[in-house]
Chains A and B, each alone.
Chain A
């Protein structure tokens, strides 16, 4: 490989030998096409006319009144497919096409990345297989149906707890056996190099737009940018163009599940220790023996025991701070945003909102906080109904 793919002590490519040639091929193609004018133009065109970029930066006035400071929502939830995932699947899908690959595979947790990959598979005429844990297939059945409508084959994965980690294991295994014609469209800013770099690149449009939108709408940069973190793709996209602005605080909100103290959560940076999973060194939820732990969260998209390497590094150097929001806070905030803004946020993104709601009364009225509203919550209505039935 040309690069080591390290973010401080994290990242790298801890993979079986068989994957080295394909990761090299991917790295080389990414290096070649990321600046290729034709590639860039095609991606820009599809981002605008297919996906719906730029997304609005919305001043949530009633939510702002509620918390006592100014909250702006970066509306990735308005993108085609209902989440930021399409930014990455368009980019990687086009990359796959330019590399001459004919098939796409992807893992998915909440189903948002699976759906976004299925859409792009349909758009580009590529055969698509989506690996999804059985637990997630059950709790996100609507997305499963949508993926199938887009022509993708959904492969339920039985291993482990039947969640995102297990889906990644099986997608990696499948890829190992089909490396010649298949492109693994990785969904989050984790996994082996070059994926964290590729996903960051295609998601960084979020903060590139937002930065300019703040300058245009408020004449200044926000004081704080908040995003939820599972693997960390929407968060790294939301942070990327603010990292060099030292006055912009960066906050990543992990899934606190039933509470970090209970051990039933997915807060890898908050409560984990460094380890190696899925080809990268990162903070990892592991037991006393070094076995990777089962995670728990109300949001399937954050249910992952590892986390992207750049987030680990940003945490270590103190550039970003990582916190956790638990399921109860998230459910509370979901209802709040729906009631006072008429927006149903994805349960994943609601973690970021819950943290911000928790800051109520602690920041001055002029303080500007951006929340990356990474996805919409239509897919979660059933889950919310189970936990908080309407009267």
Chain B
């Protein structure tokens, strides 16, 4: 199974940042969601970030909230999400990071959750509503399962805390570009380049930037600032929402968009 290390070191040799699209598993339904994810892989995704839908996603803006509701209504749950991931991995061996809310992990059973995730082909788990302060509740099970840990850094995180976060992170640091929740934004935050540089000076753990990356040029800008990856969520989920009556069109748009981002990240 391909590791983050494999992907990030390969990309680093090519002087390229990873393209990391985010999808809510099962949005709008199992089959369409799977087709979307496969199309994203075919269009050039290097790593996948997948969210298992939760009823109360407090770190997410309206676009992803709505996707969570669609996916829950379509019958998605943790067990089916594991099957979904298995099918993605059959399509291509690509690293997968899960984005979770803690209640789903606790409800499933922590040790079982991380073990089943690993068995399905997941590389890392980020729990949106858990910080390093409570990480001891899960790090043991994460390591025992052979998964990588991912934590967030935000623009208001102190330098000391950044180091503590880096010390507990084995996958990549999910760097939040803005003070806020997920969602498309017209302009990239001014502070993000500075944030990436500060993190780069503190740690060798890969730095991936998310929240508000919604255009190819945003991805390129964070890559130029030194980030190892750009995570694009709401913009893609918004395309799915816009074409709920025409899944074929959603797939075509997502695929084309990922192609554009890939080109922006690959260009000299």
Contacts and interface: CB of A to CB of B under 8 A. Distances in A.
Is B a genuine binding partner of A?
A: yes
Interface in B87-133: 101-104, 106-108, 128-131, 133
Nearest to A294: B55
B181 A179 contact: no
Residue of B56, B57, B69, B107 most packed against chain A (CB within 10 A)? B56
A14 interface: yes
Interface residues of A, number: 34
A291 B152 contact: no
Contacts of B55: 160, 291-292
Given A16-B59, A17-B153, A169-B56, A277 B103 contact: yes
Given A16-B58, A173-B181, A177-B181, A279 B156 contact: no
B156 A179 contact: yes
Given A18-B156, A159-B65, A290-B78, A169 B58 contact: yes
A284 B103 contact: yes
A21 B156 contact: yes
Contacts of B54: 290-291
Contact of A275 (B59, B77, B103, B181): B103
Contacts of B101: 276
A16 B101 CA distance: 10
Contact of A279 (B72, B129, B153, B157): B129
A15 B130 CA distance: 6
Interface size, B (range): 35 or more
Contacts of B237: none
Contacts of A292: 55-56, 103
Contacts of B62: 159
Contact of B152 (A1, A16, A275, A277): A16
Interface string A270-295: 00001111110000101001111000
Interface string B146-159: 00000111101110
B179 interface: yes
A284 B103 CA distance: 10
A179 B61 CA distance: 16
B129 A286 contact: no
A18 B165 CA distance: 13
Nearest to B133: A1
B163 to A, nearest CB: 14
B134 interface: yes
Contact of A17 (B56, B58, B152): B152
B1 to A, nearest CB: 27
Interface in A1-45: 1, 12-18, 20-22
B156 A278 contact: no
B248 to A, nearest CB: 29
B75 to A, nearest CB: 10
B78 A276 contact: no
Contacts of B236: none
Interface string A144-163: 00000000000000011000
B179 A20 contact: no
B199 interface: no
Nearest to B152: A17
B140 interface: no
Contact of A177 (B56, B107, B133, B180): B180
B56 A165 contact: yes
A102 interface: no
A274 B102 CA distance: 12
Contacts of A18: 59, 152, 154, 156, 176, 179-180
Contacts of A14: 102, 129-130, 134
A166 to B, nearest CB: 8
A16 B128 contact: yes
Contacts of B104: 289-291
A9 to B, nearest CB: 11
B30 to A, nearest CB: 15
A135 interface: no
A1 B59 CA distance: 20
A36 to B, nearest CB: 26
B151 to A, nearest CB: 7
Nearest to A21: B156
A70 B169 CA distance: 60
Contact of A278 (B58, B61, B180): B58
A15 B152 CA distance: 11
A176 interface: yes
A191 to B, nearest CB: 11
A172 interface: yes
Nearest to B180: A177
Interface centre among B58, B108, B129, B151 (most CB of A within 10 A): B58
12 contacts: A14-B129, A18-B156, A165-B56, A176-B181, A177-B181, A276-B101, A277-B103, A286-B107, A289-B107, A290-B104, A291-B54, A292-B103
The 7 nearest A-B residue pairs measured at CB: A290-B107, A177-B180, A18-B154, A17-B152, A289-B77, A16-B59, A291-B55
Interface of B: 54-62, 65, 69, 72, 77-78, 101-104, 106-108, 128-131, 133-134, 151-154, 156-158, 161, 165, 176, 178-181
